[in-house]
Structure 1
């Protein structure tokens, strides 16, 4: 999809935002339209002379990480205290002044810093003033999806590393441009995928690395969650319409990485294997219009009646094949009546695990009676393969919480890798590959069902080399020594 066809978040569209920022930074067109890149043909653009791979590039190392927060709503407004517990929050931004004031108060109430964060709430582009500051090392972005790309790019252009909530960008040319901007600025741009740090997912990763499943064959993961009320129609998000209206813009698997990220890491994607091809199918888009018409909480004056037609299928299923002959089934459904599930499964030649159902079957551990191991036996097996992060930080994870503590673990670990001058667990290439499922699923459906599309190699050849991720041992860390 060409940049001109992208949804613009405001009358100051994304390209104008880039031009304004480029002029302010004294850059010569560096933040304008995305660099030219091929679409879903799988052909990768050549690296420019000023672009170098970000694989195995460590953070600089910091005595204490200084953090800027952009977006303090349903997600960012819950993460602020976790960032405040592990670093120094120097600036915060939201279009609502009351949210900015609330966050500043929450940060100071924790007692970890003496100087309150600076606040930015003077309109939709005030984030540009935040990214220009010289006292920020990391910017965290938790805004509506259409803002992730311009904000992440602006952060890197101004010398900041950036952690983004899903997705880093919704369109393929934007994803490519963030990869190339990272390679040019030498700043990391990564998806802060919290589920990769959940305790069962980290144990599954360790089990796979230790050969418990044998030769890995296939996996599944995604996001199935009935969001109709209160999230889609009930005003739980701000602006109230922002996520709902994506259902009118793309027929796509909009939000896949909560399940996809952990199984991709476990399969070694971009570390000896890579996504190669994607096929997407989708059901008809019926559930949202039906809910709007029938649920009395919506009513005839509800703003959803100003939406365009809902075009995104209620259930999306993608099959992603890999270069080594594996496949991942990716599920997405936020419209249908359905209990929450990430559909996370992993199967190898010696056994299989289903995290949502909390059950495992492993020939490698002597399971031979065709009965799942559940309950205490399942929990014991996972605890035997605990990732070191969890027993080390279990009490703090309980204190600061967030999806059972996984949110805190993800933030703590990111800041640790920055402090110690390590490479990130999740890098820009992982983030690009996982998020590319969104636009590629849309492309697969544009020309008919079961139409395969190539997945670009965002690493441009570097995927073939093994490199560390969640498998690194516990490092020496003075912060841990104090606790």
Structure 2
């Protein structure tokens, strides 16, 4: 961001950004509740067409001791409000692009769900608008704020696993979805950070492929009714990406199971669903896997929760200037699902991944 508008300077004077929330369904209310508790944010407007969802949102305002916000049933009316610095978009995925594009054009910073658009052209347009307007576009990706992933990222940065060679990213084993929701299941922002993409690395090619892989499924005990995870092996579909740094990244492409997280470095490995870590430089015998818990504990930092953490990062990217815009990370992550669908349609064809930093 090359400049800070007068509206943002005014908001910064009392350390609160003025926010409008568009969409207050179940997911939107989670972010609304966290935003109402964030002392750096002032939630002053809400857009919602459902009267039921609107009433539920207003109850959150009452519970937080907030005054009643300005209410809209058309997002364009909310975006025309000059008193707002930014918007949180929590609508169905197919509505993200038109609302985000209009918000950027109206001079608002944007925080949105993982899906940026439905076509590559829509992704290009959002990147262009963010660069042209100087307004930030940030992905609200709570999957990227799991404590174990953040701790492992710190371990990799510290060189504990050596040079990162490969990454396998799936859904969290404790919340395996039964069916596809349309949203990426992987923590895109965390992957982007782990792979050093803000420092020049990037995805170069992608394809969808099937292979025999290990995965985890939820199993319900018929006697106790309790659910536990079972490790199995079979043919599953994954999205295989390659990076400019020579790393291979596999991303879960199906619901109903978890491929878990597996990191392979030149000096060690980690598997999340077994809780195992292997470090070549420790005192253990060669090829000895051990519990990852003590190592992760050293790097675990207490956070206010995934959603609150994501919102705090949104505030940070607005207030801190950077030459690497968060819209690049957002577009990179969102394009994976889009390109994977095209690769699958073409029978697993290898596709080039556009370099979003040079989209003009």
Question: Which category describes the TM-score, using the shorter chain as reference length?
Answer: 0.7 to 0.9
Superposition CA RMSD, Å: 2.7
Kindly indicate whether residue 230 of structure 2 is the aligned counterpart of residue 278 of structure 1: no
1:255 to 179, 184, 190: 184
Cα distance in 2 between the residues matched to 1:282 and 1:190 = 32
In structure 1, stretches of 5+ residues that fail to align are 1-53, 233-242, 247-253, 284-313, 398-404, 462-483
Cα contact 1:58–1:422 (8 A) shared by 2: no
State how far apart, in whole Å, the 2-side matches of 1:276 and 1:108 are. Answer: 49
The counterpart of 1:457, out of the listed 352, 355, 360, is 355
In structure 2, the CA distance between the partners of 1:322 and 1:189, relative to structure 1 (3 Å rule), is: same
- Offset, 1:70: 1.1
Match for residue 268 of structure 2?
A: 351
Q: Distance in 1 between matches of 2:245 and 2:186?
A: 21
Deviation, structure 1 residue 190: 1.6
Residues in 2 aligned to 1:432 and 1:107: alpha-carbon distance in whole angstroms: 32
Aligned equivalent of 2:251, options 311, 330, 336: 330
**Corresponding residue for 2:241?**
320
Aligned to 1:288: none
Q: What corresponds to 1:414 in structure 2?
A: 314
- State the partner residue of 1:220: 168
What residue is the counterpart of 2:295 in the other structure? 381
* Cα distance in 2, alignment partners of residues 448 and 57 from structure 1: 46
- 1:371 CA displacement: 3.2
Taking a change above 3 Å as real, the CA distance of residues 202 and 227 of structure 1, as seen in their structure-2 partners, is closer
Which residue is 1:131 aligned to? 79
Q: CA deviation at 1:408?
A: 1.5
Give the counterpart of 2:54 among 76, 95, 100: 100
- 1:367–1:217 Cα change, 3 Å: farther
Question: Helix, strand or coil for the counterpart of 2:253?
Answer: strand
CA–CA distance in structure 2, aligned partners of residues 342 and 110 of structure 1: 39
1:81 aligns with 2:33: yes
Further displaced range: 350-359 or 127-136:
350-359
Aligned partner of 2:99 in structure 1 is 151
Q: Is the 8 A contact 2:165 2:265 kept in 1?
A: yes
- Checking the alignment, whether the CA contact within 8 Å between 1:171 and 1:438 is kept in structure 2 is no
Distance 1:143 1:163 in 2: 12
Q: Distance in 1 between matches of 2:109 and 2:147?
A: 26
TM norm structure 2: 0.82
> Normalised by the size of structure 1, how large is the TM-score?
0.62
Aligned partners of 1:354 and 1:360 also within 8 Å: yes
Normalized per residue, the structure richer in strand is 2
1:267 to 195, 199, 211: 195
CA distance in 2, matches of 1:370, 1:282: 29
Q: Say if 1:183 and 1:424 are closer, same or farther in 2 by CA, change over 3 A.
A: closer
**Residue 227 of structure 2 aligns with which residue?**
none
Secondary structure of 1:223's match? coil
Judged with a 3 Å threshold, the aligned counterparts in structure 2 of structure 1 residues 74 and 413 are, in CA distance, closer, same or farther, namely: same
* CA pair 189-413 structure 1, distance change in 2 beyond 3 A: closer
Shift in Å, 1:79: 1.8
**Matched length:** 327
2: CA distance between counterparts of 1:426 and 1:370? Answer: 41
Q: Which residue of 2 aligns with 1:433?
A: 332
Q: Specify the SS of the correspondent of 1:277.
A: strand
* Deviation of the 1:155 alpha carbon: 0.9
Question: Is contact 1:166-1:193 (8 Å) kept?
Answer: yes
Please give the secondary structure, in 2, of the residue aligned with 1:370. Answer: coil
Query: 2 CA distance for matches of 1:178 and 1:147?
Result: 13
Evaluate the alpha carbon distance shift between residue 365 and residue 95 of structure 1 in structure 2; reply closer, same or farther with a 3 A threshold: farther
The Cα of 1:277 is off from its aligned counterpart by: 0.4
